[in-house]
Amino acid sequence: MISLRRLTKAYETPAGCFRALQSVDLEIGAGDFVAIIGKSGSGKSTLLNMVGGIDRPSSGAVSVGNTAISNLSESALARWRGRTVGFVFQFFQLLPTLTAEENVMLPMDFCGTLPTRARPKRAQVLLDRFGVLAQAHKLPSALSGGEQQRVAIARALANDPPIILADEPTGNLDSYTSDTIFRLFGELAAGGKTVVVVTHERELPVSIDRTVELADGVVMESEE
Amino acid sequence: MTAIQHKIVSDLWEGRGRTLIVVLAVAVGIAGFTAVLSAYSILTRELNNGYLSTNPPSATFYTNRVDDGIIDAVVASGSVASAEARRVVRARIKTGPMEWRPLSLFVIKDFTNIRVHKIQPEQGAWPPQSREMLIERNALQVAHAKIGETATIKIAGQQEQNLRIAGSAHDLGLAQARMENIVYGYVMLDTLGRLGQEPYFDELSVVVKGNRFDEKHIRAVAAQVKALLEARGYPVRRVDLPPPGKHPHADIMGLLLLSMSAFGFAILLLSGIVVINLVTALMAAQVRQIGMMRAIGATRWQVAAIYFGEVSLLGVDAVLIALPGGIAGGRALCRYLAVLLNFDMTSFVLPTWVYLLVLAAGIMVPLAAAALPIIKGTSITVWQAMADYGVGGESFGTSRLEQVLVALGGTFRPLLMVVRNTLRRRRRFVLTVVTLAASGVVFISALNIRASLIRTLDRSFATKQYDLWVTFNGLYPIDELQRATRGIHGIIRTEGWIVTEASFAAQGEESESPSLSGHAPSEGRSDGLFTVIALPPRTNLLRMEILAGRALQADDTNAIIVNSSLAARRPTLMIGDTINLRIGPAVLPWRVVGIAREPFSTPTAYVSQRRSEDLGRRDGMANSLRIALDRPDAATLKAAKIALDRNFEHDQLPAVGSSTKAETRYGFDQHMLMIYVFLLITSALISVVGGLGLMTSTMLNVMERRREIGILRAIGATPLMISLTVIAESVVTGLVSWGAAALVAWPVSKAVGNWLVSAMFQTSLDFHFEPIGLGVWLAVSAAIAIVASVLPAVRASRVTVREALART
């Protein structure tokens, strides 16, 4: 499903060249629930960005399914992202001027995955699935952190993408809400989605298929 | 460089794109202000200096005949510095086959020694010899003549004569010949004799000794000279006292330039709005830096000084960029107005005060604009500053408007986002809208004022039911005048009118005692000359618009109607008042029965011809023939003029001039065009400022929403979609500004139009709203919004998801 080959990412900084990832090889199968762990600055988020087509590698290749995403143009990459990947971020990153329901419908608008009339229903189903239907018409500023993250997960599933990428999705949440969120990811993986979660927590409340540990941009350990 | 200085420069450099745009916006404002201010300073100096170099007369006395003896006596009286005799003969000059233009022929005694009202040689020969004529440089075009050619001249009652055009002259004291549609010629006395006129002078122009700018002194000297002339047997029929040392058009030009300066300053103020937006965003973005500086020991005012320093630097940069363009614009304006006023620029040197004022305004306006955001931004406590989430930390949905927008909903989320985002920074949005709307208001006003001027003139000209008029050198029987028009194709009606001059007579003034008259009203003496027209009892060729009172009636004898211009000269004048008018040597009482609306007209009064005997005329006589045509097109008018000319010649009725309504209208239209063009230029400048303001605002929005743009990209928005979102947001702002402009354009354009026209022409407008202005401005504001957002849109589309999300 996801294949990283000799992936290297280097950044030019005032202090010199910084290698965030160094010759990383990684395969993630369809329906896997993978946790990427490591210390701050180890390259976890960079790796996730590479998988999601948010950033481009300095060298090496990223393939998702049959698509070599490193070769896609910016526009093609955006369309690919919208249909193939659902992102969940640490700070929820909901659009502040749109209601919860509108936030969920936005990816559908961009990608045109459903007829216009069908989109509200789909959004409501997703919000209901994650227990925030009652908040559908509220703006993000009126929601709690946990509610915002549930809406963000609903948004990530708007176009029914096969891959869910989450970058420290519980970093801003209390432990109870964090557990709930992880359970939701577990349910998604069980439902056939490929879920890749970047986290700094070693003890997760759900069973995961695989843990990939990074240190200084190098894969140190990959446990099944 | 100290750390603080380094911060000032680096802050501006870091956001150099938007800094440059704000500097440009302020520079446009300063350039506009500099242009009009410099034009004002240069023109007032040059015009008055140029005019004074002609040694303009302090007073001109009109008598029967002026000879060397009386000139010597006047000079010897001790109160006069110089005196000179002159004569002006009204004639016509042939400008084409059977086509004539009015010619004012100035007869000068000695071209090599002109002492008063000097003219300068321009091209060709100087001085003109016998049977030669000089033509004012701007009148050559009106005369359709070239130097070296022979012109055909006709003085009323005389045979046509040929004069060689020996050269051209520059006469600064006269209005632009092209605007007036008149030819000014200059001949020596001998030539006058050869034109069949008795060679003598009848005007005496004097320049007073002592303070030539003191009107009181001039009046006293004029009274002495008048007494001397009369004592020596030279009856004075009129005395002209022009405003001392002032070009006849200096006041109106000063007023025009001051109006322009006011608009220029308004543009500068509007550019300050762009500064407010920039500084507000800068202060929001630097909250943590402010907190940090406060935490390490900076006082609030030390921090504020840093940002005031940045704004000052911005202002200085704007002044440096604006000055060359502003000065060039000022020079262009000077050249344009110099052509209109018929004078030559000798120096474009700007006085130091202009530089100082521009520098002060260029720095103070941005500083004043930035003061509130800086004071507010630096008043934050250290704790508040360090806890701030930066510029993206605002909460949407707290205001009523935002809640309404959310409740309204919509089916296309990107568009919802655009509309709601537009209103997220409400103060910035409102300020941007105000700047753009201001340009819209001025643009729509320009169109409205133009339409209103046209309507006002149309209405005014519609009261005149004649198309052509011919003036004669004296009174002739109306029957004879009308007989000469019979059989001419197209003429359907004629009337003989008496046109003469009058002045308000002072209380107790009696007949046979001519008063002083001049352009400047003077308490207790005279109010200047105005036109009096004696109409047939039942005129069909003038449908006066009566504002108050009534029209003239067939049995009226001493009734008089004053037009609005004359009424404005005497604001206390009431219907029913009796006024004493000096008409020729006679002072007669008249009862005011009505006030007629005549915008843009010279002060005029109307009386009935029933009382023409009182004016020293005989019944059934006229000196002007008004002619109505069935089809007043150019060809019919031309044919009628040719035929009339031939018939009057045949019947020995000496016409001195003729004119058409179209020719008069052309002169008015030229003056109106000046106002229209000025407003359009102002609107264009404000549009540039508004466009740059919108660009700054959009750039700031993009900067502040980079993270959101990153999210949009992450969930599938393509770069094109991001660009379109930014452009759409800008267009929404443009459309709102259009709506705001449309709302206020009516009252504002009415007020601005009335203000400009009343200041320049002492009249009011028939206001007309031009709906097309709204349509045009809708397209223009959308275009400005699109152009202004292209750069921010491209930048937004290049925001990478990783960079955007890294900025949490």
Give me the DSSP letters along B449-487.
HHHHHHHHHHHHHHTB--SEEEEEEEEEEHHHHHHTTTT
Residue B140: both structure tokens together: 């050559």
Cβ neighbours of B807 in A, within 8 Å: none
Residue B12: both structure tokens together: 């501006």
Residues in chain B, overall count: 808
Q: What are phi and psi of B442, to 5 degrees?
A: -65, -40
Q: Which of A11, A85, A109, A119 is the mutation pick for testing B, counting most B CBs within 10 A?
A: A109
Q: Do A98 and B708 touch (CB under 8 A)?
A: no
Q: Going by DSSP bridges, is the β-strand pair B546-549/B621-629 parallel, antiparallel, or unpaired?
A: unpaired
Q: Which of residues 137-176 of A touch B (CB under 8 A)?
A: 137, 139, 141-142, 155, 158-159
Helix (H) or strand (E) holding B51: helix B16-53
pLDDT for residue B526 = 37
Chain A residue with the nearest C-alpha to that of B720:
A75
Contact yes or no for A45/A74 (Cβ under 8 A): no
pLDDT for residue B116 = 93
Smallest CA–CA separation between A64 and chain B, in Å? 16
Domain residue spans of chain A: 31-56+74-223
Helix (H) or strand (E) holding B804: helix B801-806
Max avg pLDDT among B276-285, B573-582, B756-765: B573-582
> For residue range A98-137, what is the model confidence (pLDDT) as tens digits?
899 989 998 888 888 889 889 999 999 999 988 999 999 9
The answer for B532, left when phi > 0, alpha when psi is -120 to 50, beta otherwise, is beta
Would you place residue B776 in the very low, low, confident or very high pLDDT band (cuts 50, 70, 90)? very high
Q: Do A79 and B716 touch (CB under 8 A)?
A: yes
Contact yes or no for B659/B755 (Cβ under 8 A): no
Q: Do A141 and B396 touch (CB under 8 A)?
A: yes
> For residue range A13-28, what is the model confidence (pLDDT) as tens digits?
778 888 899 999 999 9
Q: Do A159 and B716 touch (CB under 8 A)?
A: yes
Q: Which of residues 374-403 of B touch A (CB under 8 A)?
A: 394-398
Contact yes or no for B683/B674 (Cβ under 8 A): no
The answer for B251, left when phi > 0, alpha when psi is -120 to 50, beta otherwise, is alpha
Smallest CA–CA separation between B19 and chain A, in Å? 25
Q: Do A139 and B802 touch (CB under 8 A)?
A: no
Cα-based angle B778, B783, B785 (whole degrees, multiple of 5): 95
Taking residue B113's Cβ as centre, other Cβ atoms within 10 Å add up to 10
Smallest CA–CA separation between A142 and chain B, in Å? 9
Smallest CA–CA separation between A94 and chain B, in Å? 8
Q: Do A81 and B715 touch (CB under 8 A)?
A: yes
Query: Bridge partners of B82?
Result: B207
Q: Name the nearest CA neighbour of B61 among B69, B70, B52.
A: B70
Q: Which of B399, B715, B721, B808 is the mutation pick for testing A, counting most A CBs within 10 A?
A: B715
> For residue range B288-305, what is the model confidence (pLDDT) as tens digits?
888 878 777 778 888 899
Using a 10 angstrom Cβ sphere, with 0-12 exposed, 13-18 middle and 19 or more buried, the burial of residue B624 is buried
pLDDT score of B137 more than 60: yes
Q: Going by DSSP bridges, is the β-strand pair B621-629/B468-477 parallel, antiparallel, or unpaired?
A: antiparallel
pLDDT for residue B240 = 86
Chain B residue with the nearest C-alpha to that of A101:
B413
Alpha carbon A213 to its chain centroid, in Å, reads 17
> For residue range B424-451, what is the model confidence (pLDDT) as tens digits?
888 889 988 998 898 888 888 888 888 8
Contact yes or no for B37/B267 (Cβ under 8 A): no
Taking residue B547's Cβ as centre, other Cβ atoms within 10 Å add up to 14
Q: Going by DSSP bridges, is the β-strand pair A33-38/B529-535 parallel, antiparallel, or unpaired?
A: unpaired
Q: With an 8 Å Cβ cutoff, is B6 touching chain A?
A: no
> For residue range A23-79, what is the model confidence (pLDDT) as tens digits?
999 999 988 999 999 888 889 889 998 998 888 899 999 999 888 988 888 888 888
- Tell me how far apart the alpha carbons of residues B592 and B573 are, in angstroms, rounded to a whole number: 8
Is A201 or B335 the better-scoring residue by pLDDT?
Answer: B335
> For residue range B642-673, what is the model confidence (pLDDT) as tens digits?
899 889 888 888 887 788 888 888 877 877 78
Q: Do A98 and B808 touch (CB under 8 A)?
A: no
- Counting one residue from chain A and one from chain B, the pairs whose CB atoms sit within 8 A come to 101
Smallest CA–CA separation between A206 and chain B, in Å? 26
Chain A residue with the nearest C-alpha to that of B412:
A109
Chain B residue with the nearest C-alpha to that of A102:
B413
- Tell me how far apart the alpha carbons of residues B89 and B101 are, in angstroms, rounded to a whole number: 14
pLDDT score of A6 more than 90: yes
DSSP code for B526: B
Residues B494-503 have a mean pLDDT of: 90
> For residue range B221-274, what is the model confidence (pLDDT) as tens digits?
999 999 999 999 999 888 888 888 888 777 777 777 877 888 888 888 888 888
Max avg pLDDT among B46-60, B369-383, B725-739: B725-739
Cβ neighbours of A110 in B, within 8 Å: 414, 712, 715-718, 721
Give the nearest partner residue to A97 out of B417, B713, B802, using CB atoms: B417
Q: What are phi and psi of B389, to 5 degrees?
A: -95, 10
Mean per-residue pLDDT of chain B: 85
Smallest CA–CA separation between A144 and chain B, in Å? 14
- Tell me how far apart the alpha carbons of residues A12 and A30 are, in angstroms, rounded to a whole number: 34
Q: Which of B413, B705, B721 is the mutation pick for testing A, counting most A CBs within 10 A?
A: B413
Cβ neighbours of B718 in A, within 8 Å: 74-75, 78-79, 110
- Tell me how far apart the alpha carbons of residues B646 and B648 are, in angstroms, rounded to a whole number: 6
> For residue range B404-427, what is the model confidence (pLDDT) as tens digits?
878 777 777 888 888 888 888 888
- Tell me how far apart the alpha carbons of residues B800 and B794 are, in angstroms, rounded to a whole number: 12
> For residue range A86-101, what is the model confidence (pLDDT) as tens digits?
989 888 788 888 899 9
pLDDT score of B700 more than 70: yes
Is B414 or B35 the better-scoring residue by pLDDT?
Answer: B35
Cα-based angle B593, B595, B597 (whole degrees, multiple of 5): 155
Would you place residue B6 in the very low, low, confident or very high pLDDT band (cuts 50, 70, 90)? confident
Residue B437: both structure tokens together: 């709307």
Q: Do B411 and A116 touch (CB under 8 A)?
A: yes
Q: Do A110 and B712 touch (CB under 8 A)?
A: yes
3-class secondary structure, B590: strand
3-class secondary structure, A154: helix
- Tell me how far apart the alpha carbons of residues A197 and A86 are, in angstroms, rounded to a whole number: 12
Would you place residue B218 in the very low, low, confident or very high pLDDT band (cuts 50, 70, 90)? very high
Residues B615-644 have a mean pLDDT of: 85
**CA-only gyration radius of chain B, Å:** 34
Q: Do A55 and B800 touch (CB under 8 A)?
A: yes
Alpha-helix runs per DSSP H in B342-425: 352-378, 382-387, 400-408, 413-422
Q: Do A106 and B713 touch (CB under 8 A)?
A: no
Q: What are the Cα distances from residue B219, in Å, to A131, B118, B516?
A: 97, 22, 8
Q: Which of residues 413-432 of B touch A (CB under 8 A)?
A: 413-414, 416-417, 420-421, 424
- Tell me how far apart the alpha carbons of residues B704 and B719 are, in angstroms, rounded to a whole number: 18
For domain A31-56+74-223, the CATH architecture is 3-Layer(aba) Sandwich (3.40)
Query: Bridge partners of B591?
Result: B559, B578
Q: Do B800 and A95 touch (CB under 8 A)?
A: no
Q: Do B397 and A139 touch (CB under 8 A)?
A: yes
Q: Which of residues 73-112 of A touch B (CB under 8 A)?
A: 74-75, 78-79, 81-83, 87, 89-91, 93, 95-99, 102, 105-107, 109-111
Chain A residue with the nearest C-alpha to that of B405:
A97
pLDDT score of B509 more than 60: no
Alpha-helix runs per DSSP H in B496-581: 564-569
B19's CB contacts (< 8 A; 6+ apart) are: B12, B13, B278, B314
DSSP code for B86: E
Give the nearest partner residue to A142 out of B397, B711, B800, using CB atoms: B397
Residue B234: both structure tokens together: 């030279």
Q: Do B406 and A139 touch (CB under 8 A)?
A: yes
Smallest CA–CA separation between A160 and chain B, in Å? 12
Alpha-helix runs per DSSP H in chain A: 44-51, 74-84, 100-111, 118-129, 145-156, 175-190
Cβ neighbours of B396 in A, within 8 Å: 96-97, 139, 141
A210-215 β-sheet, strand order: A85-88, A163-167, A194-199, A33-38, A210-215, A218-223
Contact yes or no for B575/B548 (Cβ under 8 A): yes
Residue B634: both structure tokens together: 């150019």
Chain A residue with the nearest C-alpha to that of B418:
A97
Choice among B319-323, B386-390, B655-659 with the minimum mean pLDDT: B386-390
pLDDT score of B808 more than 60: no
Contact yes or no for A98/A109 (Cβ under 8 A): no
